[in-house]
Amino acid sequence: MWNVFDLLQYQFMQNAFIAGSIVAIMASAVGYFVILRGLTFAGHELGYIGFAGAAGAVLLGIDPVFGLLVFTIGSAIGMGILGKEVRERDIAIGIIAMLGLGLGVLFLALYTGYAEQAYSILFGTIVGISRADVLVTALASIVVGSILLVIFRPLLFSSLDEEMAEARGVPVRMLSILFLVLVAMVVSISVQIIGVLLIFTLLIGPSATASRLVQSPARAILLGMVLGLLYTWLGIVIAAYSNWPVSFCIATLSFGVYLPVRLLSPLWSGRRRGEATNAANKARTDAQKSLAEAEKV
């Protein structure tokens, strides 16, 4: 019989649950906008670029997390500057990711020791997370969450109707770059849990499922957070008692929930289309009112 409280007696399991919970919440919050803005490719490639940063950090003898943050944030800014249109953005993402992977191979070739820390970034090492890693994850999440709350309305407005937002004076380009930086930070802290190869699991999976079930942005984000937490907690417990990789367990749970929701969603999508339109219109109206009030001030 499984007993979660027995697992929590160990500090490394406490670290795993705390860090996993933080990452699940932030990844789901940011993941909703990643899907809404069509940036799933960017989120995927930032994970691979982060691997190069981790390899570079190992070469310099510092914590791989800092290498992840430096490379992903720098790449996110480059993607935002080089790619304004969707086609330009995808090309910029591909070019920067190609450079990042090349640097990662170089860093590993130059490192003479056993780069276990860098390789672990590929698959995630949630049960190997230290208290220091938990602290870094918490601080990064506080920064991301605070910025996301500040830019929530204009970000939602520009995500739903970029041209209208730009016409109303919203700094769409700067907002896009800032959001890519937030995605980079979330990717950096998420790969410790799920790994570069399965970064979509927490960044996209819960939000994609939630978006199929509810139409309101706030409810979709909240439901995505709940799903992310459930996947992470259950994944850790299943992995602890089965000796399977945590990333595999979380990914399987995420896919197992999304697939039936995706297949069955057409049955109620017709009835919810009107709700979706009303939710989108309400979001635009609320954002426009917020901007109008800000202009008066």
Sign of CA dihedral 271, 274, 277, 281: negative
More confident residue, 48 or 35: 35
Contacts of 110 (CB under 8 A, 6+ apart): 59
Q: What is the mean pLDDT of residues 58-82?
A: 86
Residue of 141, 179, 135 whose CA lies nearest to 157: 179
Q: Which domain holds residue 83?
A: 4-296
3-state helix, strand, coil in the chain (%, to 5): 85, 0, 15
Residue 48 or 233, more confident:
233
**pLDDT at residue 184 is higher than 80:** yes
CATH number for the domain spanning 166: value is 1.10.3470.10
Mean pLDDT of 168-179: 90
**Per residue in 39-65, pLDDT tens?**
888 888 888 888 888 888 888 888 787
d(CA 72, CA 42): 10
Q: What is the pLDDT of residues 115-130, one digit of tens each?
A: 666 667 777 777 778 8
pLDDT value at 27 more than 60: yes
Q: Indicate the number of domains in the chain.
A: 1
Higher-pLDDT residue of 105 and 224 is: 224
Of the listed ranges 15-29, 63-77, 230-244, 279-293, the least confidently predicted one is 279-293
C-alpha 41/C-alpha 269 separation (Å) is: 26
Q: What pTM value is reported for the model?
A: 0.85
- Whether the Cβ atoms of residue 144 and residue 188 lie closer than 8 Å to each other: no
Residue 270 predicted with pLDDT over 80: no
